[in-house]
Copies of this chain bind each other. A is one copy, B any other.
Amino acid sequence: MILCDIGNTSLHFLDDEKGEFKESVLAFNPKTFQEKVYYISVNKALSKELKNLGNWIDLEPFIERDGYYDTMGIDRIFALQTTQNGVIVDVGSAVTVDVVRDGVYEGGFIYPGKIAMQSCYSGISPALEYPFHFEFNQKKLAKNSQDAISYGYLKLLASEVSSYALPITLTGGDAEEFSKLFRKNLTIKKRVIFEGMQKVVKQL
């Protein structure tokens, strides 16, 4: 089975045989694939092209979009197919947090990613130009500037996410680093979108 998560600049594949690989949208030719490919896509131009190819199967129509919101990315929605009770935290350029309880999507929120937040602080004052400290003591308010911004950015996020008292799944490029914020109930899953897609494929 081949799965493909299509973004605006690249296609991310998971092939049972070849493993994971990426192709750029510009260099991509869908006709080089003879096998069945199950995909999701946020790339409208490419989706239109793929509709005419019998072996490319869009998974989006096979899930219920009700309960999610219109501008919510299809990748976030597929990640949520993997859990009936859990929080999915995707840490990249933004941090998206989504909560499912008893199979129902409760909603979520968006927080800045590490790089954006760091330049946000240093833009306020050069005195706040520090890297974040991920292993600060979350139980103690800060008494120096580096801890003061680390606490502001990271403790507030950790408290909110932990407050749901649900299993936490971390995904995205900075998952390892952000995992230091949570002591328990934590899984790092780099392939959570593919897992969601696999689950939907099995139900076809």
Size bracket, chain A contacts: 35 or more
Bound Cα distance from A128 to B95, whole angstroms: 12
* Contacts A148-B109, A160-B156; A124 near B94 (Cβ below 8 A): yes
In the complex, the chain B residue whose C-beta lies closest to that of A164 is: B141
Copies held by the complex: 2
A108: contacting residue among B109, B119, B148, CB under 8 A: B148
A110: contacting residue among B116, B119, B145, CB under 8 A: B145
Whole-angstrom distance between the Cβ of A47 and the nearest chain B Cβ: 18
B124 touches A113 (CB 8 A): yes
- The verdict on A125 contacting chain B, using a C-beta distance below 8 Å, is yes
A143 touches B107 (CB 8 A): yes
Q: Which of chain B's residues have a CB closer than 8 A to the CB of A123?
A: 116, 119
- The verdict on A37 contacting chain B, using a C-beta distance below 8 Å, is no
Q: Which of chain B's residues have a CB closer than 8 A to the CB of A93?
A: 124-125
A143 touches B110 (CB 8 A): no
- The verdict on A134 contacting chain B, using a C-beta distance below 8 Å, is no
B156 touches A111 (CB 8 A): yes
Whole-angstrom distance between the Cβ of A18 and the nearest chain B Cβ: 32
- The verdict on A112 contacting chain B, using a C-beta distance below 8 Å, is yes
A residues with CB within 8 A of B: 68-71, 93-95, 97, 99, 106-113, 116-117, 119-121, 123-125, 127-128, 140-145, 147-149, 151-153, 155-157, 159-160, 163
